[in-house]
Structure 1
Amino acid sequence: TNFSTLSAVAIRRYKKFFKLPNRSGANSKQQLLDGIEEHFKSLPIDIPETVAFFMHTVKSKRNKLDYPNEEFVHKKQLRSDM
């Protein structure tokens, strides 16, 4: 993933949103990017769920923004209960 196109403001917002710790001396954009890339790579991904949701989205010609968060979470919980 190429985060180098992000602005410094976007990088700081990412860090704030995910509550990433501040590294001492990490002031340069590249140092901030290194921390974000490490975090992004460590995020758990449920591949079958992601593929299923992608296929559903393509078939219904919708996108994630069309689903309120509660509806998406509810559908995910229903699938996991099966």
Structure 2
Amino acid sequence: MAISKARRMSIFVRDGLVCRYCRRVCTLMTDPAHQPPETATLDHLDPDGGDEDWNLATACKACNSRKHARTVEQFQDYLVERFDWEDTRL
């Protein structure tokens, strides 16, 4: 089921529009044709966890597109391996 705009905004507000992964301050999409990497998106922390609030988090478009269907732990391992981000603990 689609997540409503109101619910999406409540998650963004809860998270302070900060990406769960890189801590970048995100922007709201204003032009669907132009979405910069810092555009706020909604991510499922556990891809199989459903649409419960605990499983939804703000993520910038760049991180969300890199995460794909990985869990948070798998994505963290990917970041350490790919970018040598040893100090990254999500």
Instruction: Name the TM tier (shorter chain).
Output: 0.3 to 0.5
The alignment's TM-score, normalised by the length of structure 1, stands at: 0.34
Indicate the structure with greater helix content: 1
Indicate the structure with greater strand content: 2
